[in-house]
Amino acid sequence: MAAAQDLSPVFPLGSHRTRQGRLVVGGCDAVELAREFGTPAYVVAVDDVRARARAFVEAFAARTDRFEVHFAAKAFPCVGVLALLAAEGLACDVAGGGELAAALRAGFDPARIHLHGNAKSERELAEAVAAGVGHVVLDNLEDVERLEALLPGDAVQGVQIRIAPGVTAATHPAISTGGPNTKFGFNLSAAPVAIARIEASPKLALEGLHVHIGSQILELEPFRDAVAALTRLGRFNSVNLGGGLGAAYVEGDRPPTIEEYVEAKVAAVRELMGEDVRILDEPGRALVANSTVTLYSVESVKHNVDTYVAVDGGMSDNLRPMLYGARYEVHLADRTGSGTRCHLVGKHCESGDVIAYDVELADPRPGDVVVTPATGAYGFSMSNSYNGALRAPVVLVSDGRARLAVRRETYEDQLARDV
Ligand SMILES: Cc1ncc(COP(=O)(O)O)c(C=O)c1O
């Protein structure tokens, strides 16, 4: 009998192939999941999310007792996933009113929710204040004016100020946010005036600086450079270092480990800012990217010049390949092997709707269940209903049990807003 087969390390922790070659995630057979919940579907391995949350908390706790790990909700703003992270004791940052509503429903303590945004509406600010969020992260002077104006009586709101530190980390330009010329935050020359303005306000309690230099960052030096830049603005009680740690999307990708990332950030703050500064960190991608696989069904296999394997999802459930040229692995759920070089394409009316170019599959056929691992970050959150696609469900799997966290969209859902 053949031995159980090894899987690519980008699959959720605990995933494996049976001796017959069937993929198992969270103890559940992937083909059975496709049958029960339909495709496309996001399948989240609960133990993977928990393990990564614990790894972040333990890595900080081993180095400092003045820290807080926030989940950047934008990476996977589904109540079921947020609730897992709330239960692990994480705090949460939200980038708008919708994410705030999800974080509240998931059970985060409002005092440990933090509101971001470079274009916050008055409504979003009011909702954050009404909820009692811990920090509003001020991005521009309009934020300052609006927040002050809506705070009732002698209410005081905790705030941080977002700084653009002039540090450009190597990543896709669309997710590089720390350079000197960016739409996010105040650059170093504008920051002192804004800080003075906030400090002069009796309604705003400035608790520290915030910086987020970008996402899918694979080197550690830029995080230290960002901390060094912040020291030019004075001393503060806390610093929020944003997120940014990259994830492994295909075998061979080697992002820093959680341990290495936390070590780099804590060491930078302790050496450059001092021992007593509280460190807030906001990982998104690194907490959830590898927790999830997407299941698709093959609808057609076509040989033009190349071979096109077309599935029932695509840019409606995973925009990252189209936005950033992001790469994904592709596997069949019930067998391994190769032999057919092909492109895995989506069902949408764009030639660019290609999930993965030049992959090898073993004689893919209509009806096969295809799996793309590492789709937990920014897949669900950027999902859309292009071509009337029904947005995919989220299924949480653990110990062989599967639970629906978000149901599939219906035509009624889509038409409900037409008046
Ligand atoms: C302000 C802020 N914090 C945290 C994050 C999370 O980043 P990542 O998912 O790369 O960890 C983002 C995402 O871009 C962000 O904009």
61-104 per-position pLDDT tens digit: 999 999 999 999 999 999 999 999 999 999 999 999 999 999 99
Query: Which residues does ligand 1 sit against, CB inside 6 Å?
Result: 72, 74-75, 93, 116, 212, 215, 242-245, 282-286
Nearest CA to ligand 1 atom 13: 215
Please tell me whether residues 322 and 219 are part of one structural domain: no
Give yes or no for residue 5 having a pLDDT over 60. no
Per residue in 388-403, pLDDT (tens digit) is 999 999 999 999 999 9
Among the candidates 267, 286, 305, a domain finishes at 286
Inside any domain, residue 3: no
Separation in Å, CA 58 to CA 90, 212, 238, 270: 12, 22, 20, 18
Instruction: Assign residue 368 the CATH number of its domain.
Output: 2.40.37.10
**pLDDT for res 356:** 98
Q: Does 342 participate in catalysis according to the annotation?
A: no
Statement to judge: residues 255 and 293 lie in one domain: no
- pLDDT of 52 > 90? The answer is yes
Domain finish residue from 286, 305, 340: 286
30-51 pLDDT tens trace: 999 999 999 999 999 999 999 9
Q: Closest Cα to residue 160, out of 116, 95, 102, 98?
A: 116
Residues 345-376 have pLDDT tens digits of 999 999 999 999 999 999 999 999 999 999 99
Q: Looking at the structure, tell me whether residues 173 and 294 fall in a common domain.
A: no
pLDDT surpasses 60 at 1: no
Residue 7 in domain:
no
Check pLDDT > 50 for residue 3. no
159 within domain boundaries: yes
Can you give the pLDDT at residue 2? 40
Q: Based on the domain organization, do 317 and 409 belong to the same domain?
A: yes
Give the separation between CA 104 and CA 108, rounded to whole angstroms: 6
- Residue 244 in domain: yes
Structural domain that includes position 264 = 47-286
In tens, the pLDDT along 151-206 reads: 999 999 999 999 999 877 777 777 777 777 889 999 999 999 999 999 999 999 99
Residues 35, 111, single domain; the answer is no
Give residue-wise pLDDT tens across range 312-345: 999 999 999 999 999 999 999 999 999 999 999 9
In a domain, residue 297? The reply is yes
Question: What average pLDDT does range 221-240 have in this prediction?
Answer: 95
CA of 173 to the centre of ligand 1 (A): 14
Shared-domain flag, residues 252 and 301: no
Q: Indicate the residue among 259, 286, 313 that finishes a domain.
A: 286
| Ligand 1 centroid – CA 248 distance (Å) | 16
Is the domain of 271 the same as that of 355? no
Tell me, in angstroms, the distance from the centre of ligand 1 to residue 340's CA.
38
Which of 1-15, 126-140, 365-379 comes out lowest in average pLDDT? 1-15
Query: In the chain, how many domains are there?
Result: 2
332 assigned to some structural domain: yes
6 in any annotated domain: no
Burial (CB count <10 Å: 0-12, 13-18, 19+), residue 119: exposed
Residue nearest to atom 16 of ligand 1 (CA): 212
Q: Residue 232 maps to which CATH number? A: 3.20.20.10
299 occurs within a structural domain: yes
**What mean pLDDT do residues 249-267 have?**
97
Whether 351 and 250 share a structural domain? no
